[in-house]
A and B are shown apart, each in its own frame.
Chain A
Amino acid sequence: MSAAAGMAPRPVLLAARDLTRRFQGLIAVDNVSFELREGEILGLIGPNGAGKTTLVSLISGTFAPSAGELEFAGQRIETLRPYRRARLGIARTFQVMKPFPGLSALENVTVGALFGTARLSGRAAAREEARALLDFTGLGHRADQRAEDLGGPDRKRLELAKALAMRPRLLLLDEVMAGLNPVEVDEVVELILRIRARGITILVIEHVVRAIRRLSDRVMVLHHGEKIAEDDPATVLQDPRVIEAYLGKRRQ
């Protein structure tokens, strides 16, 4: 379900050129280049350890690249610190979720409203925004519960709400469906599509195939840090190289 089909190509929001990241001899991301257009949903898949989260960390600024360039809305950002990129409109969720444990769900999301691109100046305005987003993600009834007391699926919704509170232009989702049953997966897919409908560009790391198929306009595959495929979902999922990457070399 590609919303971009039949329309004039949208402007490029994020461009990566030869992005590389090394950790003491290990190459986690190897010369990855790609473009992400406004309003797109790009799926990022690959076996464990392929470098997907590292790539997202390079985009959010948690790590600086060892080599390569990164452009956001025409501006070079690879040397910017995380908080600067957040203010430009890049938001991410963490695979190993990082809520603010001692704060309530509402307070968690309020931080995003206060410091994201919106930079809402009043605490009251930020709290209102936070409440609205908690409702949007289905956490309205848990607004005052402490983040560390929330269960798995609710924590994921919280991560999402926090990221949305920043009013980002680009949303980086890292395995938000892990551990969810099929019904929950469908709910989150609907949520993500509604987020895209609000005009936010999304990059989704996922292992759940159903979700990738339904969500992605295009899919990119990483293996050992390298990009090995990039195309529409159906094509990519049938690509023998991709299958081999997941299953290992077939025995002759």
Chain B
Amino acid sequence: MKRLLTWAVVAACTVLLAAVPWLGDEVTLQFGINALLFAVLAQGWNIIGGYTGYASFGNSVFYGLGTYGVAIAMAQFNLPFGVGIVIGVMLAVVFAVALGLPILRLRGPYFAIASLGLSAAMGAVFSNLDIAGANIGLILPLARNDTMFYELSLALLAVATLSVAWIAASRFGRGLIAIREDEDAAGVMGVNTTLYKILALVISAFFTAIAGGIHAYWITFVDPAGAFDSTLNVRMIIMAVFGGPGTVFGPVIGAFLLSAVYEMLANSISTAAALVFGLVIVVAVLFMPKGLMDLGWGFRRMGLRYLLHNLRRSRL
């Protein structure tokens, strides 16, 4: 019964969101597209980082590959957008398998750093590829249709979230969670850890790449620094963690909220906006390390003491 109610609310929200192009102005629309795409990135990370417990600092690789898939297809070969997306996704999936196999063997911070290294290296590679426009970048054909991009991004987010919901309820998802909680125990209980980890990374790469592709067509300009921007990694992680890693809606809420916070700060205090944003992150990690969703449960159980509860558990 409760689940039906939850999904009814979600459906209502989705319809409301879909109506934004006709309810809001141009600025809102552009903010919306950014927020939606970030939510997709956060959900993508959620699968490998939140559910499987492998905190990837390299999802920007898949984003960049999706970006360049579309950019090269459209700018260099005059192929349609859809084909570009397919190319970007294929590149991302191939890399997810090829790079995933060696680095998913690493645990803890080493996996994080290896993935970070890969994303930095990718940027360097593309800045030297002529077909990708090297350091100058590529310019895509213009499509003056923010509404289309908005609805595309919303549809992508809906599919991503539904996928995460399906994963969470499936045997596959239980396996991922088991890997996160204790990989050795999961292995001896019959979970094919290698296969599951690679699958999680591939699904994560899939959504991340499409988001990159949509973004590329939307802003019509692509260059290595923007496509493989390493701060993207931390931003998507923070949004997912702020909202609630390992939950279905947490990353979406986290992405929307933090995007809104950043937007408000940028409008009011501009230069200090990033500074305050940094402070927000610090405070959030201190008092709600398990994200907003857990904050919700925690508040219900013990009120404000929840905030101190977390502090007591993690302090030296």
Contact = CB atoms under 8 A, between A and B. Distances in A.
A100 B188 contact: no
23 contacts: A62-B184, A62-B187, A83-B187, A83-B188, A85-B188, A86-B189, A91-B189, A98-B184, A99-B185, A100-B177, A100-B182, A101-B181, A107-B174, A110-B174, A111-B174, A111-B175, A112-B189, A114-B171, A115-B178, A121-B171, A123-B170, A162-B189, A166-B189
Interface string A78-111: 0001110111000110100011111100010011
Interface of B: 169-171, 174-175, 177-178, 181-182, 184-193
A61 B188 contact: yes
Contacts of A86: 187-190
A107 B171 CA distance: 12
Task: Please provide the 7 A-B residue pairs with the shortest distance between their CB atoms, ordered closest to farther.
Answer: A115-B190, A100-B181, A86-B190, A82-B187, A98-B185, A82-B188, A83-B192
B188 A123 contact: no
Interface of A: 60-62, 81-83, 85-87, 91-92, 94, 98-103, 107, 110-112, 114-117, 119, 121, 123, 162, 166
A82 B169 CA distance: 25
B304 to A, nearest CB: 22
A87 B190 contact: yes
Query: Chain B: interface secondary structure?
Result: helix
Contact of A115 (B170, B181, B184, B189): B189
Contacts of B174: 107, 110-111, 114, 123
Contacts of B190: 83, 86-87, 112, 115-117, 119, 166
B171 A62 contact: no
A91 B190 CA distance: 9
Nearest to A100: B181
B185 A100 contact: yes
| Most chain B beta carbons < 10 A, residue from A81, A85, A100, A101 | A100
A111 B187 contact: no
A83 B193 contact: yes
Contacts of B193: 83
Contacts of B192: 81, 83
